[in-house]
Amino acid sequence: MTTVTTRHYHSIRSALLAHQELALIDVREEDPFAQEHPLFAANIPLSKLELEVYDRVPRRSTAITVYDNGEGLAAVAAQRLLALGYSDVAVLEGGLAGWRAAGGELFRDVNVPSKAFGELVESVRHTPSLAAEQVQALLDDNANVVVLDARRFDEYQTMSIPGGISVPGAELVLRVAELAPDPTTQVIVNCAGRTRSIIGTQSLVNAGIRNPVAALRNGTIGWTLAGQQLAHGQERRFTAVSDATRANAAQQAREVADRAGVVRIERAGLASWQAEAGRTTYLFDVRTPEEYSAGHLPGSRSVPGGQLVQETDHVASVRGARIVLVDDDGVRANMSASWLAQMGWQVAVLDGLGAADFSASGDWQAQVPALPAANEVDVQQLASWLAEDGTVVLDFTASANYVKRHIPGAHWAIRAQLAEALEHLPEARRYVLTCGSSLLARFAARDLQALTRTPVYLLEGGTARWIAAGQALESGETHLAVPRSDRYRRPYEGTDNPREAMQGYLDWEFGLIAQLERDGTHGFKVI
């Protein structure tokens, strides 16, 4: 086992202030991460490290610091990263407690850099907003108003403002002229909480659209707290735009990007950046997933622009790296880049592309290391075994997927907590492991076999194959081998959150600017 060095809070803080590249990785599950973490920490749970780290930290010589809160996960993660080819790996001295003891600020929730930045934008630019009661009154009066929901379509479908239209954030400047052609139409932008409402509204203001525009203050949370009813399952989406609309929006977006200091490069410049061994360059296509799938620049990753601005830490996990954005119209990339530049990123828009450059097709595929060997069984064999006693099925899918549906009798577990899970499992003649596709379960099978002499098998094709074969399923929290800590329950998602949790979330957002000031490493600059 290679000896791993430690890295102190002050070294990381100095690197952040000097805009040096670094990856500060919290290897706990998402829920404990969301309870408290440093501002620029990226959450890559030990359970999923091999499946995510190559794309999120693409340069193998990046200075990586991993940490936990005393669970012993960081030391394991460091060894795995070294085995994956990373050469500059350290453990945070003292872990999370060491960060706190050294005077480091700790933040709650997820995607905190983006959310804190959104609060700063509203504070500096006084982004216009309307209260839920005001918007409801406009709708009740059949006023000349359009409500644009800046979230992902699936979030919009879960709960939305009645009559609202799904227009994910990066699409707003491109689509608004077609959705509100009358310049007197009041445009209202909403999300579930505050950030995407603020950023979406300010995008339209920055682009100089003629319409009056306002954010729905506090989003669907504010709507709910006002005692107003949300719609569920709405299907309203943006439609295609004319060439004239697209050209005008491109000019507006370019002007905003220029004001923000966005860099312009072409294919040769991109190749030069990518050839630099000492720098990380991310290449993101910020159009819709459907457009990406139909044709994209080889080597680019699909990250729709609104989500990129909202969840930058989740895809660009190396703070101080360079980001290059791609689209085919000059709108989505420029608007997204304008925000990333204000968030302290060195960001460029790739110019000079033609239709022939978008030569690759299909969905984006994550990079993963060589897959470990496993003893596989098919659906029929597992079904036969389950008719007898002695077969224990372990499911490593996301807990929400497990609760929705799983193989009858399957026990849900977290890969990084296998030792704890084993203590809560019945005696087994054999273990069969699964997840949605069996990819994560394949890595878990290797880990489990190292802990037990009981034979370990992998379900070929995972639970998806089981479902496709028409086999029986069950739902609910029927057999949890460990607590459901893999996902933080966001107070702004779903429809059954307590009012106290929703109000508490808003109060937390209001306090983010003060936390930014105390932390002092953000480097944000609002235009």
The structural domains of the chain, with segments of one domain joined by +, span 5-112, 123-238, 254-357, 376-468
Beta-bridge partner residues of 302: 285
Cα–Cα distance between 516 and 123 in angstroms, integer?
13
Q: Do domains 5-112 and 123-238 have the same CATH topology?
A: yes
CATH of the domain spanning 254-357: 3.40.250.10
CATH code assigned to 5-112: 3.40.250.10
Tell me the whole-structure pTM to 2 decimals: 0.95
Q: Where are the beta strands (DSSP E) in 227-373?
A: 263-265, 281-285, 301-302, 322-326, 346-350
257-279 confidence digits (pLDDT tens): 999 999 999 999 999 999 999 99
Question: What is the rounded average pLDDT of the residues 444-463?
Answer: 97
- 8: pLDDT confidence band, cut at 50, 70 and 90? very high
Q: Say how far apart CA 316 and CA 301 lie, in whole Å.
A: 11
> Does pLDDT of 494 surpass 70?
no
Q: Where are the beta strands (DSSP E) in 150-212?
A: 165-166, 186-190
Q: Quick one: which H or E segment has residue 394?
A: strand 391-395
- Mean pLDDT along residues 505-526: 91
CATH classification for the domain delimited by 376-468, as one of 3.40.630.40, 3.40.50.1000, 3.40.250.10, 3.90.330.10: 3.40.250.10
Superfamily of domain 123-238: Rhodanese-like domain (3.40.250.10)
Residue-wise pLDDT for 281-322, tens only, equals 999 999 999 999 999 999 999 999 999 999 999 999 999 999
What is residue 154's predicted lDDT score, i.e. its pLDDT?
94
pLDDT of residue 23: 98
Q: CB–CB of 121/201 below 8 Å?
A: no
Query: pLDDT tens across 202-216, in order?
Result: 999 999 999 999 999
Per the prediction, the chain carries an average pLDDT of: 96
The pair of three-digit structure tokens given for residue 232, joined into one six-digit string: 């569920």
> In what side-by-side order are the strands of the sheet with 5-7?
5-7, 89-92, 64-67, 23-26, 41-43
Q: What gap in Å lies between CA 156 and CA 413, rounded to an integer?
A: 30
